[in-house]
Structure 1
Amino acid sequence: MVDEQERLLPIANVGRIMKQILPPSAKVSKEAKQTMQECATEFISFVTGEASDKCRKENRKTVNGDDICWALGALGFDNHADAIVRYLHKFRVAERDKAAQNKASCCRNSQDKDEEESSQDQQPHQQADVPSNSKLQVLEFSH
């Protein structure tokens, strides 16, 4: 029984997702949550198993998002596959943008630090009253 519970999705998460679609006054029974928990877990296992088989045949050890999309299509869930492909593309673009923004922010912060150290080396007894521009540059970049 413990092994069975460990492989299932967390019931609190399943209940929260179910409640999102319902009116605020609606209640979801424990039995309904458990049924949905078992169904969702089985569906995920089914699709992941198909993707895993594909990876094994290709001598790969890592299942990725493209494998899941392929598995959905191979199992006849074409509508879901199309939606997941679109979501995966948007997710990857957002992650690339986020990484580029972090890299630019990091580079600008280290450049400001280098300039600050350089000016302190030239004038060791003076303290700079001018605030760093790093925050302003990061804010400008995020627009």
Structure 2
Amino acid sequence: MAEKLEDLNLPNAVVTRIVREALPDGVTVAKEARAAVAKAASIFILYLTSSANIIAKKSNRKTVSGQDVIQAMEDIEFDQFIAPLQEALENFKKNQKEKKDASTKKKQQKKDEDDSGEIHEDE
């Protein structure tokens, strides 16, 4: 758990980047507006996490899953964000699988190289 309330805030650089990407070029955002967006985002994340945690607990689980978050989005009536969230979750899973497959392949290649370079005593 966070020791101070400030520990729950999102990093300012991240909030600034997200706000800039969401707005057209040439639009500036006041410091207090960025602070308000950061606070609102933090509160939303806490609320969503709490809702997802309730869903996980109802299923007798301690780990919140991506599906719990999607269900929580529906429960808190943010239905319009479910499709993009599902797409992002699928992309994340795909990227994780590709990384794992690449790592496994690299380990196998290294093992094959090591095996082919060994000198066997019976030779």
TM-score by length of 2: 0.86
**Structure 1 residues without counterparts, runs of 5 or longer:** 123-143
- List structure 1 segments (4+ residues) > 2 angstroms apart after TM superposition: 21-27
Question: Which structure would you say has the larger RCO, counting Cα contacts within 8 Å and 6 or more residues apart?
Answer: 2
**Structure 2 residues without counterparts, runs of 5 or longer:** none
**Could you tell me which residue of structure 2 aligns to residue 8 of structure 1?**
9
In structure 1, what is the Cα distance between the partners aligned to 2:58 and 2:24?
46
**Could you tell me which residue of structure 2 aligns to residue 99 of structure 1?**
100
Q: CA RMSD in A?
A: 2.1
**Could you tell me which residue of structure 1 aligns to residue 75 of structure 2?**
74
Q: Quote how far apart the aligned CAs of 1:33 are.
A: 0.6
In structure 2, what is the Cα distance between the partners aligned to 1:26 and 1:34?
17
Q: Quote how far apart the aligned CAs of 1:49 are.
A: 0.7
1:52 paired with 2:86, answer: no
Q: Secondary structure, in 3 states, of the residue corresponding to 2:4? A: helix
State the aligned residue count.
121
Q: Secondary structure, in 3 states, of the residue corresponding to 1:118? A: coil
TM-score by length of 1: 0.75
Indicate the structure (1 or 2) with the bigger Cα radius of gyration: 1
In structure 2, what is the Cα distance between the partners aligned to 1:93 and 1:23?
31
